Structure 1
C-alpha cells in the first residue's frame, strides 16, 4: 500500500507531462488513485496553496509550489541573469519573451515576459511543454544527447495544432536545420495563430543550457525582424553565464547532460 506522501507525489507528478490544467478525474487517472482519495488529497493541496482550482473546475500548479521550486540555485541564478536581457528584448519587439530549460524530456519555462499587445500563449512560468512542438523545445532537443530524442520519439509525437510535426523523420530533419542555422522557427505548431523564433543559450564550454524565444502572431511573424535582437540577447546572456554563473555540471538548468555533438 502506498503511503500518503507517495500519493501526494503522484498527484503532483500528474502535471509533469506538461499539461497546464487537469480535471480531477485526469489527475486521479494519472496518479493511479481512486476518485474519492484523489478528491480529498487534491483538496488539501489546494488549501495549502500547492495546487489551484480554476473557475472551470480544473486544477493547475499553485504559486506556493512554484515559489519553492524556483529557489533551486540553478534556476534562480539563470533567471536573475536572464531578466535584464529579456526586458531589453521585450522593449525592442513588444512580443512574448520566454526562457526555458530541459527537464525530464520537456521544455520547462522558468521565466516569461509579455505585454497587453502580445499574442496570447499557453505557456506559464513553471509549466512544461513538449519539445517537438515549441521553438525553445526544438532548440533544447537539437542539442540534447541522442537518448533524449530517442525517448521523445518513443513516447510519440502528439499533435497540438495544425502544423505540429508528428513524423519522426521530419522532426530529425527539422533538428538538423536548427543545428545548421543556429535557431528554430515554429508556426502554428503549439498554438494556432502563434509563431516563435528561438535561440540557444550556452555556458562556458559551449553546452546549450537554455533556450530563449520570441513568440508572436503567425500572420505577422518576420524572422528577419525577430532574429537579430533575439540572437543578440542570447549571446549576451551566454556571456553573462560564462562570467557570473557558477552552477557547475550538476547544477546546469538543462541538466547534467552534455551537448549533442553530432552534425546536421
Structure 2
C-alpha cells in the first residue's frame, strides 16, 4: 500500500507543485484546468458526462504577447463550460479531447481498483467552497466505497496564519501561501511550502496527526484578492448555460 496525491483543481498550481515535489506521475482530468467544486461533485456523481462544455466555443482573453500561450496579438484561447474553463488546451483539437477522456478513464479506474490510500488536494476558488465539502466527501464515499482517502481544501491568504485544521474525519482546511502571482511565470517551487513540508513526514493516512479542529477556530478562511486574467477582463471562468 502506498500514499497517492491527486489534484482536484481548482487550477494548475497544485498539480505543478505535486510534480515539483515528485508526488505526481500520472495525468488526471482536473490537473490543469479551472474547475468548480460543484463540477467536481457532478463529475463523480454523473460519470463525467458534463465535464466538457456542451458547445465548444473558443473565446479570447488578452494576456500580453509575453505570455507563452498567447498569439501574436497577445490573446489566449479560452473554452468555458458549465463548471469550468480550459485555458491550456485547445478543445477544437480531437487529440486533446481524447487525451482528457484518457485522463478521466485513468482516474475512474484507479479509484475503483486501488488499494492505495489517497490524499485529494484542492485550492479553494470560491471562499464558500467549504460549504460543499461534506457533499464532496459523501459523493466519493458512495461512488468509491472501498477508497481510503482524505481531502485537503487549501486557502491562500497572507493576512492569517498558515495552518492546518481538522474539519472532520475525512477533510482538513488549510491556509498555505502560493508564491506565484504572475501568470506569465512558472509555478514557484516554494508555493504552498507550509503544507508540502508537512506532507514530507506523511507516509500513510494514519500519519496525519492534526488535532486542532476547524470548528473551534475563530479564523475566517478566505482567499486574497488575486484574480486570473479572464476575471480581470470581466469574463467569469464558467458559462452556466454551456
- Above 0.5 in TM-score? no
Higher RCO (CA 8 Å, separation ≥ 6 residues): 2
Give the TM-score, by structure 1 length. 0.27
> TM-score of the superposition, structure 2-length normalised?
0.28
In terms of Rg, which structure is larger? 1
